[in-house]
Structures are given as structure tokens and as C-alpha cells.
Amino acid sequence: MSDVNRKVLEEKAIAPPEGFRERALVGSLAEYERMYRWALEDAEGYWREQAKLLDWFEEPKEILEWELPHAKWFVGGKLNVSYNCLDRHLAKRGDKTAILWESEDGKATAISYHELHASVCRFANVLQSLGVKAGDPVAVYLPMIPELPVVLLACARIGAVHSVVFGGFSSVALADRIRDCKPKVVITADGGYRRGRIVPLKATTDQAIESCPSVQQVVVVRRTGEAIAWKDGRDIWFHELVARASENCPATAFDSEQPLYILYTSGTTGKPKGVQHTSAGYLLQCAWSTRLIFDLREEDVYWCTADIGWVTGHSYIVYGPLANGATVVMYEGAPDQPAKDRFWEIIEKHRVTILYTSPTAIRAFMAWGREWPDRHDLSSLRLLGSVGEPINPAAWKWYSEAIGKNRCPIVDTWWQTETGSILISPLPGATPAKPGSATKPLPGIAPRVVNQDGEPTKPGETGYLVIEKPWPSMLRTIYGDDERFRRDYWQRIPGVYFTGDAAQQDADGYFWVLGRVDDVIKVAGHRLSTMEIESALVSHKAVAEAAVVARPDEVKGEAVVAFVTLRSGEKPGNELHQQISDHVATTIGTIARPAEIHFAQALPKTRSGKIMRRLLRELAQKGNVTGDVTSLEDLSVIEHLARAKGMDEG
Ligand code: WT7
């Protein structure tokens, strides 16, 4: 953990802005502490009370059934997730805008709760007509268009289990994820727009399902209108199906633990893991945390800039905000399309009040300069959020000043695909902020920083971040691999949930999350597995061996550095370099493209043949190696590598 052992504790606490605190849902630290104590002393009572945020068809009989590592929340309760996000709002706010969709080319479409409800009902009927039943998986590979939340809520309505694959993933990555959960139906689009260019989603889907025998039907949303290949009998247009479908689709009651979705995320092996979330606990904790952390009010215009292909979009574009009846902005495109002020233009145009984005985006805005936000009226903003990676104090301060004009609190929210919802975050009207710290756990959440024996660390000492008790939105298992679920999360430090993050707690009890301790890296907030990139590299015909490490990057947080050895007869050079880089992009997606590829004669290995990634990391980060090399098999390897790296840099 040495490379995350940096000093983080010098920041002073900044009280919530006065004007904000007065009107906040939770307006003092004492109030937060009271809630925290209640949840600590009487977890079941606390969650029973919070469960009133949802509409139940049948009240839960028992709050928690916990048999480590398996939790069942709100046992015996019955509800419908889509009913909670739609139907129950119709009487009170049916004409309120649910989704305010901004296309990349600048057109805005407001979709009311009534309209969203009707679209979801129609598509739920479509799914049923295609033979999709409760419990069946449905793969979704769509751009950021309104049909995406419609599809998710339609699945939820009939108890089908969506598996969304981020539209930036390649056909190989898509195929891996489809083969794992074996859906009969895939929902995609003819294409999507990214910086004015077309992303050919249907062509990628066609290629992927060549190796996915489970798929019988491909539903295609028309977005670009470009010509696409068509397979009669398998491919069907979304708009033709919904035109024929009825708007009447009563919400049926499902068990609290009805699976809601699978979302694949990167782990420490080459195989992505299907994180399994279920219904009531997940929805409740999303709804509850959205309200508390974003201090959500009826009149807010809330914008989370994530893609729905990631968990942030699932929890904080779709389920959390819609369960609260909020108005959600959804943007199709890139932050610099057509110019570097697109975000600020959207905020001004729609009078956005809450902005939730990533440190990588903030650092990019910083690099682009203040003239871009300064051109726009951002006075509608009242709260800012950050998620996905540690935010460095400089970026935090820039965000606060340039965007929040020092009026808006910032919530630095820590969580994971696995946790389902935010676990550590300030409450904006209560918790004094420290730039770079996600501050304190939400009520009901018991994080600890421990050493490898599970013993608590002292303030300021780096350790592993673990969570001591179950929480409603926690993952229930890894789809099809409960053994991996136990091994990865519950056996590293027995009895507690292992997050894979390094952290420190300071003397005030604030949490400082420092980064991953496993082979997971975070590039622009996207979670990648070094092993997955290594297997993509060695699947190139010229590559014999590969090792991937991360180095810090000014904007993206981390960048991918690859060391490869070539098969005999292959010549290193620019052309091969490009080919290998493209190969990674087409095998996984452009997000995994290495920032650097170094050709090596050999990789440093221990006597037992393990690649010494620690040395490579040092080499990638500092350009030379000073650490302990006593177990290195052939010392000259490191010299060669350092020289080769120096050469292709010079
Ligand atoms: C990992 C989870 C959180 C939803 C989107 C990403 C890192 C996340 C923070 C934060 C420091 C953070 C952790 C975590 N991370 N938020 N506020 N401060 N680190 O979900 O792809 O599952 O990644 O992102 O390393 O383990 P994910």
C-alpha cells in the first residue's frame, strides 16, 4: 500500500454555507449525529422508519435476515420498483417533468411523469409480448437517450433483470457480458452520437451476438437513422413495437428481494463480475440517500452527468431521483461538444440547481480555464457533488469557487458498484467539509479502517477500508459465482465487507479514501482491471507477455501503462505500437487504451515466475527503480526496461 501512503490530513474543515444550512433538510451536525446514533443503536427500527419513503403493496414482516455474507432486507415485503418511480407520483405531479433530455445537438425534450409512465407501460407490454418473464435477464446496450431509462423501468415493472452494458464497450466486452447472463433479448440502437460522430452500436451488437447463442431477439431504437444491417426474424424496431403496444400495464407486486439488475464491473481477474442488486433495499437506499445528500426539494432541477451504463447512472439518474419525483436532466453527449462550455450552457438553459459530476471532469474544466464557466449564469446552482475517484483539494477548491461561487456546498460521495448507493458523504447542510475527504458515513453505515489482521488503525495511518454491517443496497452476490462473492468481499478480512480501497481516518473521524489496493485501476473514474487489459494485450498475435500498471495522471487520475514482450520475429516500432493500442480499444473499449506501451525484452519476475508489478509501477511512476529487488530473478531486466523506457520517452 506504499504508493497510496500520502499525507492528506492538513485540510481544515469548512462549515456549510450559511444560506444553505438554514433551509437544509438536515441543518446541523448535531442532527446528523442524532440520526447516526439512532441507526447505530436500533438499526432495524431506523430502517423500518425509512422504509416509509416507499409505497409497499405489502409491508415487510422482518427488516433484516443476515447470514454472513447473505443479507435479505425487508423480508416479506412486496412492492414494485417502477410503481415507486412513476405511478405513485401521477396524482400529485403527473405533469411535472421527470426527464429533461438534452440531445448532443442541443435540442431539449421534457418528458412528464405521465408520459414516462405511459412509455414504460408500453415497453413493459412489449417485453412481455417477446416472452420476457419475471427473473429473466435483458441486456441493454444503448446511448444516453430517453429510451434507456424507459427500458430499465419497464424491466423493473415486470420483474425482469436488466443488465446494462456501457455504450463505450467494444463487441468483445459486450459479448463477454451477454454470455455470462444469457439474455434472450438485447436492446440497442442503430447508433449513438459522440462529439458529432456516430457510434455504431447496432453493428457492434451484431458482431457480439455472433458468439451469444442465447440471444433470439434484438430490439433496435432508431436514433441516427443511418443504414444498418438487419436480420429478419431476429431484429425488430423499438418504435414499431411500442406503437402496437397497450399503455395499460398494471404494476404487479414483487418480493423485496426480487433481482432488479446485474451490472458488470472489473475485478482483479480478467473476467468482469456481475454485481447483483435486488429491489426494495436497493431502491430504498437510493431514494433515501438522494434526498439526504442532495437535499432534494420538489422544485430542484437535478443533473447527474454520469452515463446510465455505470452504477452512478443507475442509482442517481434513474432510481434514486425518480423514486423522489424529481426533475432529472439527462445529457446525451460530451462536455466539449460543440464547445468547452457545454455543461455551463446546459446549467444556464435549464436552471440546474444540483450538479453531480466526477473529479476527472472537474480537472478537465480546470485545465480548459475559467473563461468557459464565466461566460454563463450559474446562479441557479445550489449544491455540487463529486463521485468516482478521490478528488484532490485543488480540484475541490476550483469546483467550489469557479462553479459554486463559494455559495454551494460540495458533497464528495464515496461508494461502489457493489454498495449500490452512497455510503460515505457529507450531508450538505450539516457536515463541515474537508477538501479531499468524503467525510463521514451515512446513518446505518459502519466503515472502519483496519490493518490486514482486521485491527483498527490509528488516526492518520493507512489501512483497508471495510464496512462492518450489512446495509440495504448492498450487492447480494456475484451473478453465477457466489464463491467469488465470498472470496472477494468477505474472506479477505473475515466478518466484514472488504472494499478494496485504502483509506485513513483522521482525528475528527473523517474518512480519506486514497485509492485501490488491488489490481483495479481508475482511469477517468472508470473502473478497469489490469488483468483484463493484460489479457487483451496478449490476445494480440505479436504479444508474448504483458503487464499493466497505473501511473498518476493530472486530469484522469490514473493512466494505463503497459509493458509488453513480443513473440520472436516481431519487431517493435510505431506501427506495431499503434496496432496493439487499437487492439486493446477494440477488445475492451477506448476507455482502456493504454497511455503508454513499452516494449521490453523481458518482464521482471520473481524466482517463482510472478511478474513484479511493484517494480513496474515504480518504473512507470518515477522512471527508475529504487525499491527492494532481492526477489527479482534477473536484475538486468530492470536496467533494460529503464533504459528502453527512457529511450522511447526521449
Ligand atoms: C471505486 C468504485 C461510486 C460510483 C461510481 C464508481 C473509487 C468512488 C470515490 C470518492 C475516493 C472514490 C473507490 C471505489 N471512488 N468514489 N468519493 N473518493 N474514491 O463506482 O466503478 O464501482 O468504483 O471508486 O476506489 O472503490 P465503481
For 355-380, write each residue's pLDDT tens digit: 999 999 999 999 999 999 999 999 99
pLDDT 10s digits, 88-120:
999 999 999 999 999 999 999 999 999 999 999
User: Does the C-beta of 389 come closer than 6 Å to ligand 1?
Assistant: yes
User: Whose C-alpha lies nearest to ligand 1, atom 17?
Assistant: 414
Mean pLDDT computed over 397-410: 98
Provide the grid cell at 305: 452527468
User: 21 C-alpha to center of ligand 1: Å?
Assistant: 27
User: Does the C-beta of 523 come closer than 6 Å to ligand 1?
Assistant: no
Residue 324 has pLDDT above 90, yes or no: yes
Report the alpha-carbon distance of residue 583 to residue 642 in Å, rounded. 25
Q: Provide DSSP, 270-325.
A: SS-EEEEEESHHHHHHHHHHHHHHTT--TT-EEEE-S-TTSHHHIIIIIIHHHHTT
Q: How far is CA 75 from the centre of its chain?
A: 28
Ligand 1 pocket mutation pick from 416, 440, 517 by most atoms within 8 angstroms of CB: 416
- Which letter does DSSP use for residue 17 in this model? P
- Yes or no: say if 290 and 320 are a contact pair by the CB < 8 Å rule: yes
Report the alpha-carbon distance of residue 51 to residue 74 in Å, rounded. 8
Q: How far is CA 600 from the centre of its chain?
A: 34
User: Does the C-beta of 155 come closer than 6 Å to ligand 1?
Assistant: no
pLDDT 10s digits, 244-282:
999 999 999 999 999 999 999 998 888 999 999 999 999
Distances (CA, A) of 305 to 144, 147, 196, 509: 10, 17, 18, 30
- For the CA of 515, the closest atom of ligand 1 is 25
Q: Provide the pLDDT for residue 650.
A: 36
User: Whose C-alpha lies nearest to ligand 1, atom 19?
Assistant: 389
For 204, list phi and psi in degrees, rounded to 5. -65, -40
User: Does the C-beta of 390 come closer than 6 Å to ligand 1?
Assistant: yes
User: Whose C-alpha lies nearest to ligand 1, atom 10?
Assistant: 414
User: Does the C-beta of 501 come closer than 6 Å to ligand 1?
Assistant: yes
Q: Provide the pLDDT for residue 12.
A: 82
User: Can you tell me whether residue 475 is helix, strand or coil?
Assistant: coil
User: 422 C-alpha to center of ligand 1: Å?
Assistant: 10
Ligand 1 pocket mutation pick from 305, 399, 522 by most atoms within 8 angstroms of CB: 522
Radius of gyration for the alpha carbons in the chain, expressed in angstroms and rounded: 24
Ligand 1 pocket mutation pick from 308, 415, 518 by most atoms within 8 angstroms of CB: 415
Distances (CA, A) of 116 to 66, 85, 121, 368: 36, 10, 9, 37
> Do strands 447-450 and 463-467 pair parallel, antiparallel, or not at all (unpaired)?
antiparallel
Q: Provide the pLDDT for residue 5.
A: 47
Mean pLDDT computed over 572-593: 96
Question: What mean pLDDT, rounded, does the chain reach?
Answer: 95
User: Whose C-alpha lies nearest to ligand 1, atom 20?
Assistant: 416
Q: Provide the pLDDT for residue 648.
A: 56
Q: Provide the pLDDT for residue 27.
A: 96
- Which letter does DSSP use for residue 242 in this model? H
User: Does the C-beta of 497 come closer than 6 Å to ligand 1?
Assistant: no
User: Whose C-alpha lies nearest to ligand 1, atom 21?
Assistant: 527
pLDDT 10s digits, 448-500:
999 999 999 999 999 999 999 999 999 999 999 999 999 999 999 999 999 99
User: Does the C-beta of 503 come closer than 6 Å to ligand 1?
Assistant: no
Domain ranges of the chain: 519-649
Q: Provide the pLDDT for residue 153.
A: 99
User: Does the C-beta of 311 come closer than 6 Å to ligand 1?
Assistant: yes
Mean pLDDT computed over 294-303: 98
Q: Provide the pLDDT for residue 636.
A: 77
Looking up cell 481544515 gives 12
- Which letter does DSSP use for residue 85 in this model? I
Residue 6 has pLDDT above 60, yes or no: no
- Yes or no: say if 408 and 383 are a contact pair by the CB < 8 Å rule: yes
Distances (CA, A) of 120 to 146, 166, 184, 553, 587: 11, 21, 20, 42, 33
pLDDT 10s digits, 529-554:
999 999 999 999 999 999 999 999 99
User: 359 C-alpha to center of ligand 1: Å?
Assistant: 11
User: Does the C-beta of 527 come closer than 6 Å to ligand 1?
Assistant: yes
User: Does the C-beta of 17 come closer than 6 Å to ligand 1?
Assistant: no
What type of residue sits at position 116? L
Provide the grid cell at 346: 446546459
- For residue 141, how many other CB atoms are within 10 A of its CB? 27
Output the CATH code of domain 519-649: 3.30.300.30
Distances (CA, A) of 574 to 545, 577, 597: 18, 5, 10
User: Does the C-beta of 488 come closer than 6 Å to ligand 1?
Assistant: no
Q: pLDDT band for position 631 (50/70/90)? A: low
Residue 7 has pLDDT above 70, yes or no: no
Residue 646 has pLDDT above 80, yes or no: no
Peptide bond into 393 cis (omega under 30): no
Q: Provide the pLDDT for residue 3.
A: 43
Q: pLDDT band for position 638 (50/70/90)? A: confident
User: 397 C-alpha to center of ligand 1: Å?
Assistant: 20
Q: How far is CA 370 from the centre of its chain?
A: 28
Looking up cell 509488453 gives 564
Residue 628 has pLDDT above 80, yes or no: no
Q: Provide the pLDDT for residue 620.
A: 92
User: Whose C-alpha lies nearest to ligand 1, atom 18?
Assistant: 390
pLDDT 10s digits, 186-218:
999 999 999 999 999 999 999 999 999 999 999
User: 641 C-alpha to center of ligand 1: Å?
Assistant: 32
User: Does the C-beta of 273 come closer than 6 Å to ligand 1?
Assistant: no
Report the alpha-carbon distance of residue 13 to residue 475 in Å, rounded. 33
